[in-house]
């Protein structure tokens, strides 16, 4: 989904503050090193000790500067038994996933509100069309690991619970009670769970 590159590479200068572009400005080629094109951040499990029992380690341009302008990136999702990577979407990317370990229910909802889902085992793939709301849920008895690839250097993540109930400042309760057709208590309960941190 990202635009095509205009040169071999443009290793991101993540520190540049004097230039603002769509993406990141390039480091001078004279200071580009091999390590700019290699990344070991997905080699270890992430910390799943949180309310969802999951962790997404992101290998996007922010952590892997060699990806700048190349239009792709990769994540690692770790899930404890019963853990969920909660409902979310990526505004700038389709997602191609591969289950590495465990048994994972993967699903997404189309713009016609059709729900598509399947339980996958190690070695099996899924695809989430760009922008659609999706999740991964560990339905097995052991830990699960999923690798996801994106056709964007920075896919973006819209996490449904934090977007709706944890924004800063908060979405007014009237908007949420009218949107979901419930009373204030329900909204306040949801806000209490998701406001403050993500």
Task: Identify whether the C-beta of residue 36 lies closer than 8 Å to the C-beta of residue 8.
Answer: no
Q: Shortest Cβ distance from residue 195 to Mn ion (Å)?
A: 23
Q: Shortest Cβ distance from residue 150 to Mn ion (Å)?
A: 8
Site for ligand GLV contains 75 (CB under 6 A): yes
Residues 55-74 that bind ligand GLV (CB under 6 A): 56
Site for ligand GLV contains 95 (CB under 6 A): yes
Q: Which among 84, 96, 88, 182 has a CA at the least distance from the CA of 137?
A: 84
Site for ligand GLV contains 148 (CB under 6 A): yes
Cα–Cα separations (whole angstroms), residue 51 to 34, 79, 86, 107: 38, 12, 10, 20
Picked from Mn ion, ligand GLV, none, the partner binding residue 54 (CB below 5 to 8 A depending on kind) is none
C-alpha triplet 58, 64, 67: angle, nearest 5°: 105
**From the list 60, 68, 69, 85, which residue makes contact with ligand GLV (rule: CB under 6 A)?**
85
Taking CB atoms, the residue at the shortest distance from Mn ion is 95
CA distance 121 to 143: 12
Residues 85-104 that bind Mn ion (CB under 5 A): 95
Q: What would the two tokens of residue 136 be?
A: 């991964």
> Coil, strand or helix: which one is 104?
strand
Site for ligand GLV contains 77 (CB under 6 A): yes
Residues of this chain that interact with ligand GLV (CB under 6 A) are 56, 75, 77, 85, 95, 136, 148
């Amino acid at each position: 989904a990202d635009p095509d590159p205009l040169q071999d590479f443009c290793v991101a200068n993540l520190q540049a503050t004097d230039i603002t572009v769509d993406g990141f400005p390039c480091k001078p080629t004279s200071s580009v090193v091999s390590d700019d094109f290699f990344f070991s951040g997905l080699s270890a499990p992430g910390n799943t000790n949180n309310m969802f029992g999951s962790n997404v380690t992101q290998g996007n341009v922010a952590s892997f500067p060699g990806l700048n302008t190349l239009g792709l990136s990769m994540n690692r999702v770790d899930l404890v038994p019963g853990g969920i990577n909660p409902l979310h979407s990526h505004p700038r990317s389709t997602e191609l996933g591969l289950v590495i370990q465990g048994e994972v229910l993967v699903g997404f909802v189309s713009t016609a509100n059709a729900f598509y889902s399947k339980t996958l085992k190690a070695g099996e793939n899924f695809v989430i069309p760009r922008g659609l709301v999706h999740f991964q849920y560990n339905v097995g008895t052991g830990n699960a690991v999923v690798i996801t690839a994106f056709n964007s250097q920075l896919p973006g993540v819209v996490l449904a619970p934090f977007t709706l109930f944890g924004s800063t400042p908060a979405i007014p309760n009237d908007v949420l009670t009218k949107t979901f057709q419930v009373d204030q208590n329900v909204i306040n309960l949801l806000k209490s769970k998701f406001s403050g941190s993500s």
